[in-house]
Structures are given as structure tokens and as C-alpha cells.
Amino acid sequence: MSHLDQVLEVTARAITYYLDVSAECTRRIVAMDGAIKAMCNRLVVADVTNRTSKDLAEQCIKVLELVKTLKKALKSFKKTSRMLMF
């Protein structure tokens, strides 16, 4: 268990919590070059026998799921808003 894995796991957990309370966070994560790719790459090398690595992988999946859900909700909201304007 490396210290880097521990830091990354705590960071991913913080991002997950932030996504729960801020839709703006989704836009920022998606806009950051390589953020989504980095999380996906981390999932590829995750060691599920190591608790910290497994926790980090779980948090990455949660972040990716939240980003997907929030982006879909934002698109739906924008579409509904445009329909209401006409």
C-alpha cells in the first residue's frame, strides 16, 4: 500500500462528495485534460487484492458514474429549458 494510493483514494473520495453537492464540479472535471482518462487508466491497473487500491478503484467508478449522471441531467435540463422558451 503506497502513500500515493492513499492520497489518490482520499482525493477521489473528496471529488465524489463534491460532485454530490456541486453540478459545477462535473463541468470542471470533464473540462480538465486527461482527468477522465486518468481515472480509467487507474481502473486498468487497480489491484483488487490491495484494500487501498480497491477503494481507489471504487471511488473512481463512483466519480465516473456521477459525472455521467450529472451530465445526462444537465442535457435534459437544457433541452427542457429550450422547450419552455418556445
Say how many C-beta atoms besides its own lie within 10 A of residue 17's C-beta.
Answer: 12
Alpha carbons 61 and 67: distance in angstroms, whole number: 10
Q: What digits encode the pLDDT tens for the residues 58-67?
A: 888 988 888 8
Give the residue, 4 or 45, on which the prediction is more confident. 45
Residue 84's pLDDT band, with cuts at 50, 70 and 90, is low
pTM higher than 0.75: no
Residues near 12 by Cβ (< 8 Å), separated by ≥ 6? 39, 56, 59, 60, 62, 63
Residue 83's pLDDT band, with cuts at 50, 70 and 90, is low
